[in-house]
């Protein structure tokens, strides 16, 4: 899988002192290699069981060089999460740009299905999501966790507000409350996937989303829904 790392993200991370100038000046392919290895190792093992030696060996650099790039393992995690988040945001923008469905229910199904498609391809993304993108994890800076939540809230709100305006969603339920309910569907599907990850495929995920969304839809649909 080709990764196109946005250099603007790296510049921002340098300003926040998550990566060093030395790392920013590395060739793109080397940065991408470090990111790929870090994401894989951090997703598949507990944070305390991933050593700098593991990451350095996988990336083909010395431990000393790795510390010149990041200073700490915590910074490597923050860097990895920030790049994953940027990939997700870029994916979401592209999805909405190409979206052709019209009905609100179909748009919600398409949005949620596409989102899970992103996290499950490659599967290591989903493992990384479940291990670190949670307030209970306590390992990522709050701004990264908030950014993921806000990204999802913003995308779903776009669909909900349009659905209210077309009469497909109830006008007497605040849009923000509907967004939270739909994000609850997302969370329920995540937990279903995590429970039996090795047996889950895209069809199963879509079926789970459709089932839960149908239950929710009975309570939020408007007169034209």
Model confidence band, residue 223 (pLDDT cutoffs 50, 70, 90): confident
**Which pLDDT score, from 0 to 100, does residue 118 have?**
94
Q: What is the mean pLDDT of residues 58-74?
A: 96
**Averaged confidence pLDDT in the chain:** 93
CATH of segment(s) 7-76: 1.10.10.60
- Would you say 178 and 166 are in contact if contact means Cβ atoms under 8 Å apart? no
Model confidence band, residue 188 (pLDDT cutoffs 50, 70, 90): very high
Four-residue CA torsion sign, 177, 161, 220, 117: negative
Domain with CATH 1.10.357.10 in the chain: 99-220
Q: Which has more pLDDT, 127 or 2?
A: 127
Q: What is the mean pLDDT of residues 170-181?
A: 97
Q: What is the mean pLDDT of residues 130-147?
A: 85
**Tens digits of residue pLDDT in 17-39:** 999 999 999 999 999 999 999 99
**Which pLDDT score, from 0 to 100, does residue 221 have?**
95
**Tens digits of residue pLDDT in 54-63:** 999 999 999 9
Q: Three-class SS string for the chain?
A: CCCCCCHHHHHHHHHCCCCCHHHHCCCHHHHHHHHHHHHHHHHHCCHHHCCHHHHHHHHCCCHHHHHHHHCCHHHHHHHHHHHHHHHHHHHHHHHHHHCCCCCHHHHHHHHHHHHHHHHHCCHHHHHHHHHHCCCCCCCCCHHHHHHHHHHHHHHHHHHHHHHHHCCCECCCCCHHHHHHHHHHHHHHHHHHHHHCHHHCCHHHHHHHHHHHHHHHHHHHECCCC
Domain with CATH 1.10.10.60 in the chain: 7-76
Four-residue CA torsion sign, 211, 216, 222, 223: positive
CATH of 99-220, one of 1.10.260.40, 1.25.40.10, 2.40.40.20, 1.10.357.10: 1.10.357.10
Burial 118-128 (b: 16+ CB within 10 A, else e): bbbeeebbbbb
Model confidence band, residue 2 (pLDDT cutoffs 50, 70, 90): low
């Amino acid at each position: 899988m080709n990764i196109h790392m946005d250099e603007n993200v790296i510049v921002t991370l340098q300003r926040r002192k998550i990566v060093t100038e030395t790392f920013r000046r590395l060739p793109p392919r080397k940065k991408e290699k470090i990111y790929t290895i870090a994401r894989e190792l951090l997703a598949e093992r507990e944070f305390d069981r991933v050593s700098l030696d593991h990451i350095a060996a996988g990336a083909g650099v010395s431990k000393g060089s790795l510390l010149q790039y990041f200073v700490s393992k915590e910074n490597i995690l923050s860097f990895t999460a920030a790049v994953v988040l940027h990939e997700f945001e870029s994916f979401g923008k592209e999805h909405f740009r190409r979206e052709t469905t019209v009905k609100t229910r179909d748009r919600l199904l398409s949005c949620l299905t596409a989102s899970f498609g992103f996290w499950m391809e490659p599967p290591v993304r989903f493992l990384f999501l479940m291990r670190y993108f949670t307030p209970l994890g306590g390992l990522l800076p709050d701004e990264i966790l908030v950014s993921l939540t806000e990204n999802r809230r913003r995308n779903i709100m776009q669909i909900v507000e349009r659905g209210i305006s077309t009469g497909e969603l109830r006008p007497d339920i605040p849009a923000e409350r509907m967004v939270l309910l739909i994000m609850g569907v997302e969370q329920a599907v995540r937990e279903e996937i995590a429970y039996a990850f090795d047996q889950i495929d895209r069809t199963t995920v879509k079926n789970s989303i459709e089932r839960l969304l149908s239950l929710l839809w009975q309570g939020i649909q408007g007169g034209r829904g």
